[in-house]
Chains A and B, each alone.
Chain A
Amino acid sequence: GENVEQHPSTLSVQEGDSAVIKCTYSDSASNYFPWYKQELGKGPQLIIDIRSNVGEKKDQRIAVTLNKTAKHFSLHITETQPEDSAVYFCAATLISGSARQLTFGSGTQLTVLP
């Protein structure tokens, strides 16, 4: 089965700096990679995702890059703000005709210092 590793487990940055979170996956067949943001006491929120037919996707201050050969993908947050502080989870799965479960990374606690 799929295994997703996520690093770092904690990350502190100064407001305005960039933050990068990295994940690696084991199953080369996986082709969908979402990122979730979870604030304390709340459910995860889908913030960006990427499919394996592209190498990069950007949405305002958030971007995700994918290297299929190396089987790793990264979340980049630029111009960080205190409200970006949360736990971020990466995930991977194979899109197919039937429902497929997501395999999650262990999470990264991001703290943006004002």
Chain B
Amino acid sequence: GAVVSQHPSRVICKSGTSVKIECRSLDFQATTMFWYRQFPKQSLMLMATSNEGSKATYEQGVEKDKFLINHASLTLSTLTVTSAHPEDSSFYICSAQGPNRYEQYFGPGTRLTVT
């Protein structure tokens, strides 16, 4: 199957700082990527849909100025958590729409801890 990577896998940052998470499709081009947040023992919560070359579409209740998304190429999307606070601590997962344009392949996730 298609491979999606995320970097970093874990990050600890201090409150008030910004953190960037990268999502890459390694063996296919993805015009659309998705960013999710997952709390312990819960399902995936879609944060935003990222389309290459255009602005991301954010889900209701997600602050676009806090969670900056850039999809600059067909293989890379980035999520920047700005001015992070402890409540932003979570597991962030990206997915990329596959070559058939309907499957979604997920990255391994990034565990963010804000102290």
A: residues with CB less than 8 A from B are 32, 34, 36, 41-46, 49, 89, 93, 95, 99-102, 104-107
Contacts and interface: CB of A to CB of B under 8 A. Distances in A.
Contacts of A93: 102
A18 B32 CA distance: 36
B108 interface: yes
A41 B109 contact: yes
Nearest to B108: A43
Contacts of B105: 46
Contacts of B31: 99
Nearest to B4: A43
Q: Is the interface of A mostly helix, strand, loop or mixed?
A: loop
Interface stretch (B13-21, B44-52, B61-69, B77-85): B44-52
Given A99-B49, A99-B97, A107-B43, A43 B34 contact: no
Contacts of B51: 99
Interface of B: 1, 4, 6, 31-32, 34, 42-44, 46, 49, 51, 93, 95, 97, 101-109, 111
Nearest to B30: A99
Contacts of A43: 4, 6, 93, 95, 106-109
Contacts of B101: 95, 99
**Which residue of B31, B44, B103, B105 has the most chain A CB atoms within 10 A of its CB atom?**
B44
A99 B104 CA distance: 10
A84 to B, nearest CB: 18
Contact of A101 (B6, B49, B106): B49
Contacts of B49: 99, 101
B106 A45 contact: yes
Contacts of B103: 34, 46, 49
B104 A46 contact: yes
18 contacts: A32-B102, A34-B103, A36-B106, A43-B4, A43-B93, A43-B95, A43-B106, A44-B106, A46-B104, A95-B101, A99-B51, A101-B34, A101-B46, A102-B46, A104-B43, A106-B42, A107-B42, A107-B43
